[in-house]
Amino acid sequence: MIVKPKIRGFICTNAHPVGCATNVQQQIDYVKAQGTLHNAPKNVLVIGSSTGYGMASRITAAFAGGANTLGVCFEKPPTERKTGTAGWYNTAGFHAKAAAAGLYAKTLNGDAFSNELKQQVIDTLKADMSKVDLVIYSLASPRRTDPKTGEVYKSTLKPVGQAYRTKTYDTDKNVIHEIALEPANEDEIQQTIKVMGGEDWELWLDALGEADLLADNCKTTAYTYVGKELTWPIYGQATIGKAKEDLDRAAAAIVKTQASKNVQAYVSSLKALVTQASSAIPVMPLYISLIYKVMKEEGTHQGCIEQIYALFTDKLTHATPEVDELGRLYMNNKETNDATQAKIKTLWDQVTQENFHELSDYAGYHHEFLKLFGFDLTDVDYDADVESLVDW
């Protein structure tokens, strides 16, 4: 079939198989050009492995560190009439390249929150890989079914304590407008913590620990975004912020529970980027368009793969990595430093419907958005007939 992007709201409802494979190849090329990682982990589990920071982590571990990787994701396969999801094609592309390089790679597709999927991972590790020395937790989901009770929890993107009014950019309508978000109630806060907090991360490490599949001195990290003044009302002082605080609680709990293995658990604070998750969050399309403008001018812009390769080289491959005052692996200082934030704040105050495309790098934002789904890549012929029924 010939595949063109079908955009609805803040998502693209299809994906290009060749484009997704090309996107993966470009990330592989980047990490290989940087050189081999020293002290790299050799058995890596990536929970949430098919897109964004999770896929970048898997690529870095495998192609810069030579690691065996087991991925966990929840993606839809293609049918005769419809393409698969971008994560499906990303994973297929990764598998093909890993096989060509002689690297072990396997991916389990299913509900990562479930006990059944955790057991599948345990069985696979015992059969193929043995103990893991790095566990990446990079899940992004709007809902979660509690594996113990069967109750379904749904996350909410709302401020906490008071209403929040600000400007945002509607990517679907090409309009800058004001939005007003009412504060979350206590139930919405707790449900968001249940979905986006650290409980499931803990459950994964508990299951791996009980199965004796955590290597001595194993590291594990969950990814988060914190931001600064412009995004605090929707990230820090908000339902998401409460969930992120729970990640810190979970990290401490994991260290205590897995003390016999000297497991090191960290929350990694990464920079704001265009991802399938961030595209859905109010404020972020406008904010990211502005930071892309500023950081590209400063020469400090990084995409997913650059950020994750730096996380591995600067933090995860060190015996005792440097942490911030909250004990996190802090990677977004190039975005959140006062000088850069002042430039972004100036643009934020000035931006209007009329000057938006002049003051921002929305072209860069939109390119990165399309690239998530395998589109807008110069090396791909989008008029060519492609095979959409790709398997792993």
Region of residue 175 (phi > 0: left; psi between -120 and 50: alpha; otherwise: beta): beta
Per DSSP, helices labelled H in the chain are 17-34, 52-63, 86-100, 115-124, 186-196, 199-210, 239-257, 284-298, 304-311, 333-336, 338-350, 356-359, 362-372
How far apart are alpha carbons 300 and 323 in whole angstroms?
A: 21
Burial class (CB in 10 A: 0-12, 13-18, 19+), 362: buried
Q: What is the CA radius of gyration of the chain?
A: 20
Q: Find the angle CA(204)-CA(137)-CA(97) to the nearest 5 degrees.
A: 115
Helices 304-311 and 52-63, axial angle in degrees (round to 10): 50
Region of residue 90 (phi > 0: left; psi between -120 and 50: alpha; otherwise: beta): alpha
Catalytic-labelled residue, pool 53, 164, 223, 235: 235
362 catalytic? Reply is: no
Distances 60 to 44, 166, 289, 367 between C-alpha atoms, Å: 11, 37, 26, 23
How far apart are alpha carbons 160 and 384 in whole angstroms?
A: 49
| Three-state DSSP state, 390 | coil
Distances 186 to 46, 192, 260 between C-alpha atoms, Å: 32, 10, 37
Instruction: Look up residue 349 and give its two tokens.
Output: 């105050």
Burial class (CB in 10 A: 0-12, 13-18, 19+), 35: exposed
Distances 221 to 53, 145, 263, 333 between C-alpha atoms, Å: 12, 22, 11, 18
How far apart are alpha carbons 20 and 246 in whole angstroms?
A: 33
Instruction: Look up residue 356 and give its two tokens.
Output: 């938006």
How far apart are alpha carbons 318 and 19 in whole angstroms?
A: 35
State the DSSP code for 37. P
Q: What residues are labeled active site?
A: 235
